[in-house]
Structure formats: C-alpha cells, structure tokens
Amino acid sequence: MDNIFLDNVARVLNVTVDMLKEDSTAQTIPEWDSLNHWRVVETLEDVFDVEFTMDEATEFKNLGDIYKILMEKVNKVKEKSK
Amino acid sequence: MDKSINIAILGNCTTEYIAQALQDECEKKNISAYIYNAPYDQYNQEILNIDSGLYTSKPEITILFLESFLLFPQWFEFTNLTSDKDNKLSQIQSAFDKLISLIEKIHANSDTKIIMNNFKLPYHSPLGLLDGKYYPGIKDMISMLNMKLNMWSEDKEYLFIFDYNGISAQFGHKKSVSQKMIYLANNPATLAFTRVLAGEYMRYILPLKFMSKKCLVLDLDNTLWGGVAGEDGISGIELDITGPGKSYYDFQKEILNLYNKGILLALNSKNNFDDAISIIENHPHMLLRPSHFSSLKINWNDKAKNISEIAKELNIGIDSIVFFDDNPVERELVKTLLPDVTVISVPNDSSKYADTLKNLVEFELLMITKEDIQRNEMYFANLKRNESISQYKSIDDYLASLEMKIILEYANEFSIPRIAQLTQKTNQFNMTTKRYLDKDIESMAKSEQYMVISCQAIDRLGDNGITGVCIAYLEGANAEIDTYLLSCRILGRNIEYAFIHDVIRRLRNKGIQKIYASYIRTDKNKANENFYEKAGFSKYLWTGSEAKSGLPQALQNDDTNKMLYCIDSDSQLKGIPYIEVI
C-alpha cells in the first residue's frame, strides 16, 4: 500500500503508519470509529480525485480492500487520460 | 496559548466534523477551544434540560446547526406546495415559533451568544419552474422563514443568524454537500465545505475574544492606484471610474467602507512625500483623501519600522494591524520582522483586490459604535443619493433630474495629458479630429493666441472627469474653434451645447466679434455634422475672396470634407437651463 495512501489514513485516524496493515479494520484499530471512517473515505476521494459509490463505501472489508478499490479507480482514470 | 473559549454545538445532523474543523481553526489563531459537541440530534433535550452538557459546559458561543430537510421535510412535497396558501403560511409561522422558542429557552438559562443558521434555498422545486406561481413556493417559504428570523434577531445582541445559505451558495451548493455523506453519516457538509464553515464561524469568535483588527496599513503604488507615483505622476497613474483603473477605485470604495465602520487607516509607502500627497489630495478619482488616514508613513524607511511607528503613534498593538501591499518582497520583510502583523496574501491582479478585502475575517465586528453611525448619518445628509427610478414626462425632465454640472477650466499641468489623450482617442463627437501630443497642448496653453479649455462633467450619479475639450485660436477680433470634442460617455445630454455656449461667452468677453468653427467630416463623426448649426452657428458660404476678407489664415477652403460655420457677436444663444456651468 503506497505511502501517500498510508500517510493520509494514518493522519485521519490519528495513528502511526506502522499500525496500518492490509487486514486492519475498525475492530483492530480503536481509533477507527464510524466518524473517522467517513473522514477517511472523503479524504481519499479528495487526495486521489476519485469517487467511491455509496455502496462501495459501505462494503469495505478492511484497509487492504479500500486500497485495492482505490487503485482500481485511479488506474481507470489514468487509462482514460492516456 | 493566550486565549481560550468555550463553544457548544447542537444540531439535528452530524456536527462532529464542524466541531473538529472549528478546533483546528481556533488552534491556528492560538485559541484553546473547549468544544462541547452535543449528542446527535439531541438539541431539544439539551436545550430543555437545565443540567445538560450544553449548560454545564458554560459556553460563550452556542452554535445551533439545523438542516431544513430534517426540520421540515414535508414542505418539500408537491402536495404541500399546491395546498392552501394559508396552510403554507401557518407552516412557516409554526417553524419560526419553534425555532425562537428554542433560542429563548437557551437565553433564559445562559448568557451564551447564540449562532443559528438560516436555511438553504433549494434550486429545484417539485413544482419546477412553476414554483413562483403557487406563491409561496418552496423557495419563498424558506426565504420568508429566513427573513422572519433576521427581523426577529435585529434587537437581540446575543443572537446571530448565520447566513448558511449565502456561504453555501458562494462556495457552490453542488460542492458544499454530498448526498452520499448525508445517507452514510448524516453529515450535511463535504470535507472542503466543513473547513469553509469553520472559517466563517471564526468571524464571531475572533471579535468576541477582542481579536478583531483595528488598523489597515496600505501601500500606495500598485495598491491604491496602478503604476508608480514617482514615475507616472498624477496624470499617468491608473485610477478611473471605468475600465481597468476602476479596480483601484472599487478597492478604495471597500477601504472606505471599512473606514466608515471604524477601522483606522494608515499609509506605508516608499515615495516622495509631497508627490504622493499631491496625488491623494488632487486626483479626481481618489476616494481616500489625506484626512482618511490616521498615519502617513510616506518615506524611504523600511516598511517594518514604519509599521512599528504606526502602532506606537496610534497606541494600538502590533497584533491589531493588517498590512496590504502588492509587493511580495515587502510583505515577506514585514512577515519576518513583525510576525504579529497580519499580512494579506495580495493577489497579483488588481481586479481581485476589492474581493480580497471583502473576504477578510479580521475586521469583523460584533457591534458598530454609535459614534460611527452618527458620523455616517451626517455624511449621508450632505450627499444626494437617489435609488428610485422615477417616470419622466419628457427628455428635458429626465436630463434635468441628472443635476448636471460642468466645470470649465483653462488647461493646467494636471489636465494637459488628459486633454491630449482625448484629442487622440475621441472620434465620434470630434469636429475636426486633430490629434495632439502633450507638448502641443502645453505650448497652446501657454500661448496668448490660444485658449485651451477642458470640460469636467459631474452629475447626480458621480463625476465623469474631464470629458470635453475646446481649443480656440484667437486673431484680432476673430476666433476659430480649432478643436471641439466630447467623450461619448457624456453625449446625449446637451452638455455639448452648454459647453460651446460658455466658450462663446468667454470669447465675447475677450472682445471677439466673429467666431468661426470648422467641421471636417469623417466616417466616424458624420452623425454629428449638424452640431454647429444646432448650436446657433450659421453655415459660412465661401465666396472665393476669403483671403482678403479678414478671415483668419487657418480658415482656408482646402478640403472638400470641410464645412465652415460662423457666429457673430450679437447672435442669441439658446441656453440649457438644467446644466450648471462653473
């Protein structure tokens, strides 16, 4: 998971980057509450200039999942602009 | 941190993000904010229960944040909007009553200041474009509620109605909200808009903590006018009531608004004092005059030192000063040497100056003093302002209502460049289209053989500046109008007649018996070819023996496009009664 992604998530959750793993969830990180979660979603949308659908936003399984879907969107945008 | 503040936030939607953003904004200003964010949608309970967290947190500011789509969702239904008008009006009244009872309850239990938002006007109505035909539609229902709240808040010092609708509109309603976030988190504001909201709430917090700034320190060159005083002089600087120069005029207008609000003004400019003051005193389009400034640091000293002196002279803290200077080097200097001064990031485009000033949070006040209001009332009484559009019975009626005044003056150092410029630019109302440079005008102005007169046109709506020129050549008992022109800005008002008549009067006073005027026809001025005749001149009929008849040398029949007119000393002139000539 790339640094820009991890830095932003860590900042919003107010944790250190090394605490973030692919299988991290709201259960494994106490700072990750519902309020923070939406903030993470919005921040990633802002920083990477993509949009998660409402359904996508409710179905994230863990941090790695968020990263995977985010990268899919980012690459799709890159493909379009080529 | 020097200052602290207690804030309470209540809402019918998620307000945590606003609370967080507000915390950040306060921290940026070195204020420790203790923010009590009430549990979700419990604003009623918190307000009604005297032991609630709201009251025990002892807030100095209470933000009540209520979204319309949660407060009165039924208003947005088609069937509601097409129901009885009285039904809708009573819905508005009932929403209003509910809101004011909440506010009154808070006020009965606490001396907190209350900031409640007004409601966003939706663009789309279930009625579509017919929203206005079933009055009040959804837009007017919400407008009415907003207006009732404003009116009710007028005499209540503790209450402010926050223009949520306005700031959302300015930001862009589409960008301020994300439906996704409303459904997922009941969050009514996007990330970016949340920050904007927090910035707007700082407008209330800063003055409450006596952190409003007191003084605006301004540069001159490329700040109050375009160009450099020392190089361009009074006639070369850019400052006008039209065109790009108007950006500086409008900037001065906004500064004047601040002055009238009670903000102190000071100048901080690297310039020769006398040159700069002369411009400030004499330029016709300066709105700010020396008397508006409490301190005039126009010298070659370093600008940070000047600011320190201004603070001492005015007996205010360095931290109550805002500095506006177009030069990034000067700004950086002041930022470095005087970190407590608020240095504005001035945009590198004067068209943005006025807006930059309008957006400032620093000069927000919670109250304007009686003294300032009284001073402004006197100012108003001396000024004739007219907002009404009346119906006129005739063109003369309309023209008379403009309260026109023309000031005629012989060419002087200030007006020479403008006079020359007008001869170069003016095409439509220009009888001979002779182009002159500054030095030509200057030598004619100095000569006994010429009379160079400028015409400044003022009316009820403002000063148009120098917009007319007449150059007459004198020889014995004869005179010839070499140049007669008016800027198209002031045509159609009969100023051209008032002007020429006064010129004729002046020439007659000098003993001139016959006045000749030539008209040289061009494509651009042909609409005005009958002007001299209409002004009372007669067409001159060439006889072929002009050289012997005492006609001035200049008046030779040398151009098929040239027509000559003449008026002698006993011709009566039709006056223009409603234009005052000075």
DSSP string, B97-124: HHHHHHHHHHHHH---EEEEE--PPPS-
| A39 → chain B, closest CA residue | B191
Chain A residues in contact with B185 (beta carbon < 8 A): 34-35, 38
A-chain residues near B178 (CB < 8 A) = 42
Task: Assign a CATH topology to domain A3-81.
Answer: 1.10.1200
Distance of alpha carbon B578 from alpha carbon B495, whole angstroms = 10
* pLDDT per residue as tens, chain B (582 positions): 678 999 999 999 999 999 999 999 999 999 999 999 999 999 999 999 999 999 999 999 999 999 999 999 999 999 999 999 999 999 999 999 999 999 999 999 999 999 999 999 999 999 999 999 999 999 999 999 999 999 999 999 999 999 999 999 999 999 999 999 999 999 999 999 999 999 999 999 999 888 889 999 999 999 999 999 988 888 889 999 988 999 999 999 999 999 988 899 999 999 999 889 999 999 999 999 998 999 999 999 999 999 999 999 888 999 999 999 999 999 999 999 999 999 999 999 999 999 999 999 999 988 887 666 665 565 554 443 333 334 566 778 888 888 899 999 999 988 999 999 899 888 889 999 999 999 999 999 999 999 999 999 998 877 888 999 999 999 889 999 999 999 887 888 899 999 999 999 999 999 999 999 999 998 888 889 999 999 999 988 776 666 555 566 666 666 777 788 888 887 877 778 888 999
Q: Is B32 helix (H, G, I), strand (E, B) or coil?
A: strand
| Terminal Cα distance for chain A, rounded | 24
For A50-72, what is the mean pLDDT?
A: 92
Alpha-carbon gap: B182 to the closest alpha carbon of chain A (Å): 10
Contact criterion met (CB < 8 Å) for B187 and A38: yes
Judged by CB atoms closer than 8 Å, whether chains meet at B17 and A39 is answered as yes
pLDDT of B409: 96
At residue B387, the pLDDT reads: 37
pLDDT at B564: 84
Q: How far apart are the first and last CA of chain B?
A: 62
User: What is the reported pLDDT for B391?
Assistant: 58
Cβ <8 Å between B185 and A57: no
Closest Cα of chain B to A34: distance in Å? Answer: 8
Classify the C-alpha dihedral B52-B56-B57-B63 as positive or negative. positive
Q: Whole-structure pTM over 0.90, yes or no?
A: no
Q: Does residue A34 belong to the interface with chain B, where contact is any CB pair within 8 Å?
A: yes
Angle between helices B246-261 and B370-382 (to 10 degrees): 130
Nearest chain A Cα distance for residue B117, angstroms:
23
Where do the DSSP E strands lie in B49-150?
61-65, 113-117
Cis peptide before B136 (omega within 30 of 0): yes
A14 has a chain B CB within 8 A of its CB: no
Residue B462 has a pLDDT of 76
Question: Which residues lie across from B468 on neighbouring strands?
Answer: B455, B486
Contact B16 A57 (CB under 8 A): no
User: Contact B17/A57, CB-based, under 8 Å?
Assistant: no
How many Å apart are CA B446 and CA B466, to the nearest integer? 20
Nearest-Cα distance to chain B for A12, in Å, is: 11
| Closest residue to A54, CB basis, from B16, B183, B187 | B183
Chain-chain contact of A57 with B192 (C-beta, under 8 angstroms): no
CA-nearest residue to B21 within chain A is: A39
Q: Does A26 touch chain B (CB under 8 A)?
A: no
Token output for B342? 């608020």
Nearest-CB residue to B191 (from A35, A43, A58)? A43
**CB spacing of A57 vs B178 below 8 angstroms:** no
Distance (Å, rounded) from C-alpha B417 to C-alpha B233? 11
What does B157-188 look like in DSSP terms, one character per residue?
TTEEEE-HHHHHHHH-HHHH--HHHHHHH---
What residues in chain B have their Cβ under 8 A from chain A's Cβ atoms?
14, 16-17, 178, 180-181, 183-185, 187, 190-192
ipTM above 0.95, yes or no: no
> Measured between CA atoms, how close is B41 to chain A, in angstroms?
15
Enumerate the residues of chain B whose CB falls inside 8 A of the CB of residue A46.
Answer: 191-192
Contact B187 A34 (CB under 8 A): no
Residues of A in contact with B184 (CB under 8 A): 38, 54, 57-58
CB spacing of A34 vs B185 below 8 angstroms: yes
Instruction: For A33, name the nearest residue in chain B, comparing CA atoms only.
Output: B185
Torsion region of B240: left, alpha or beta (phi above 0 gives left; psi -120 to 50 gives alpha): beta
Cβ separation of A42 and B178 shorter than 8 Å? Answer: yes
* pLDDT tops 80 at residue A39: yes
pLDDT for position A82: 72
Instruction: List CB contacts of B306: < 8 A, sequence separation 6 or more.
Output: B268, B297, B299
Q: Which of A43, A46, A58 sits opposite B184 (nearest CB)?
A: A58
A46 touches chain B (CB under 8 A): yes
* Whole-Å CA distances, B178 to B49, B94, B145, B297: 33, 29, 25, 50
Pairwise CB contact (< 8 Å): B192 & A46: yes
Report which residue type is found at B303.
Answer: K
* Torsion sign across C-alpha atoms B394, B399, B400, B401: positive
Decide if pLDDT at A74 tops 80: yes
Write the residue in B17, B184, B191 that is nearest to A54 by C-beta.
B184
Question: Chain A partners of B181 at a C-beta cutoff of 8 Å?
Answer: 38, 42
Residue with the two structure tokens 């309850």: B105
HEC-encoded secondary structure of B253-295 = HHHHHHHHHCCEEEEEEECCHHHHHHHHHHCCCCCCCHHHCCE
Q: Which helix (H) or strand (E) holds B494?
A: none
Domain boundaries, chain A: 3-81
Q: How many CB pairs under 8 A join A and B?
A: 26
Q: A43 in contact with B at a CB cutoff of 8 Å?
A: yes
What pLDDT is stored for residue A78 in this prediction? 82
Domains with residue ranges and CATH for chain B:
3-208 (3.40.50.1110), 215-382 (3.40.50.1000), 395-581 (3.40.630.30)
Contact B16 A38 (CB under 8 A): no
